[in-house]
Amino acid sequence: MATMKAVRISAFGGPDVLKLEDLPIPQPHEGEFLVKVEAASVNPIDYKIREGATAFVRADNLPYRMGRDVSCVVTAAGGGASNFKVGEAIYAVVEQGGYAEYAIVKATGAARKPACLDHIAAAAVPLAGLTAWQGLFRYGELKSGQRVLIHGGSGGVGHFAIQFAKSKGAYVIATAAGAHLRFVLGLGADEAIDYKKQRFEDVVHDVDLVYDLVGGDTQERSFGVIKRGGVLVSTLTEPDRDKAKARGVRAMRYTMEANATELGEIAKLIDAGKVKPKVSKTFALADAAKAQQFLAEEQPEGKVVLRIA
C-alpha cells in the first residue's frame, strides 16, 4: 500500500503531540478528489483542535489528521467529481488532513487556484479568506459606502477582511497592535487604531458593522459604537442577544462553511489585483509544531504556511 507523510495527533496537548507519520494515501469517494498537497495553511483553529479546545473534534475523533486548507494539484477523481481535471492546480478547504503530502478535497470546497499566486501564497487563502468573506457579506451584509470596524485587522482573517471590505467600497476602521498599524493601513484601511494605547470607543462611532475577531471585553465594548440597525458579527463568542436587542442591532457568532463559489469569487479579486495574501513565515511539514507555536506566540501579520512539496 502506498504511503505518505502526514501530521497527526493521537492525544490532545501541546505542540509535542503533533507527530509526522507514514500513513496510507487516502482514496477519493463520490464527489471527491485526491490531491498532491503543495502547501498547507496554519490557522488558530489548528492549535485549538490540538489542545482539545473545540466542540467538533473530541477524544473519540482521535487520531486526527491536522490541517484545514491547502493549495494543491489534482491527481485522481472519485465518482461524479468532474469539476477539475487531473493535473489542475486548485485551492481548497479540507475537512482534515491538510498537513500531508496527499489529501482528499470535496468539490464543494474547492476552486481553481488564483493564477497570479504560487502555491505558498494560495494556501494562505481558503479558510481565512472564506471566514472573512462570510463574516462581512453573508452575515454582516456589508454594502458599499457603509462603515465597518474590524477588530484584529493584522491577522490571517483580519487582513483579508480589510481588503474585501475595501473592494466592496466600504469605509474601513481596523484595530491592531502598534507595530502592525503600517501594515493595516497598507492593506487599505482608512483608519488604524492601536488598541494598546487607545480605546476604540473613544474615537469610533456610528459604524454599520463591527467584525469581531478578538472577543471578550472588546466585543462587549463594541456595542456602543454600532448605529441602530447595525450588525455585530463574531467568529469567537456568542454576543449578548439582550444587549443587542436593547441597542437595536443584530448580533451573531458564526462558523465558516466550505463554499466553492465564494472561493471562486475570492480568486477573481486576487487575480484582479484587489486582494493580496500576506505570508509572514513558512515552515517545512516536519516543523508543524514550530509553525503552530510561532502562530500562537508571535501573532504575526497575515498567515503562516507549511511547505509540503
**Which pLDDT tens digits describe the chain residue by residue (309 residues)?**
899 999 999 999 999 999 999 999 999 999 999 999 999 999 999 999 999 999 999 999 999 999 999 999 999 999 888 899 999 999 999 999 999 999 999 999 999 999 999 999 999 999 999 999 999 999 999 999 999 999 999 999 999 999 999 999 999 999 999 999 999 999 999 999 999 999 999 999 999 999 999 999 999 999 999 999 999 999 999 999 999 999 999 999 999 999 999 999 999 999 999 999 999 999 999 999 999 999 999 999 999 999 997
Look up residue 123 and give its three cell numbers.
Answer: 494556501
Bridge partner residues of 90 (DSSP): 72, 112
Q: Please state, as a whole number, how many other Cβ atoms lie within 10 Å of the Cβ of residue 236.
A: 15
Domain 129-253 has CATH 3.40.50.720: yes
Q: What is the pTM of this model?
A: 0.97
The ranges of the chain annotated as CATH 3.90.180.10 are: 3-125+277-307
Per-residue model confidence (pLDDT) at position 63: 98
CA–CA dist 180, 192 (Å, integer): 9
| Amino acid found at 35 | V
At residue 214, what is the residue type? V
CATH topology of domain 3-125+277-307: Quinone Oxidoreductase; Chain A, domain 1 (3.90.180)
Neighbours of 58 (CB within 10 A): 11
**Mode of pairing for the β-strands spanning 171-176 and 147-151:** parallel
Cell, residue 107: 468539490
Q: What is the DSSP string of 180-199?
A: GHHHHHHTT-SEEEETTTS-
Rounded to whole angstroms, the Cα distance separating 117 from 126 reads 13
DSSP-based three-state secondary structure for 227: strand
Domain boundaries for CATH 3.40.50.720 within the chain:
129-253
**Class of residue 37 by CB neighbours under 10 A (exposed 0-12, middle 13-18, buried 19+):** buried
Distance, CA of 259 to CA of 241 (rounded, Å): 28
Q: What is the SS3 assignment for 282-305?
A: EEEHHHHHHHHHHHHHHCCCCEEE
Residue-level pLDDT at 81? 82
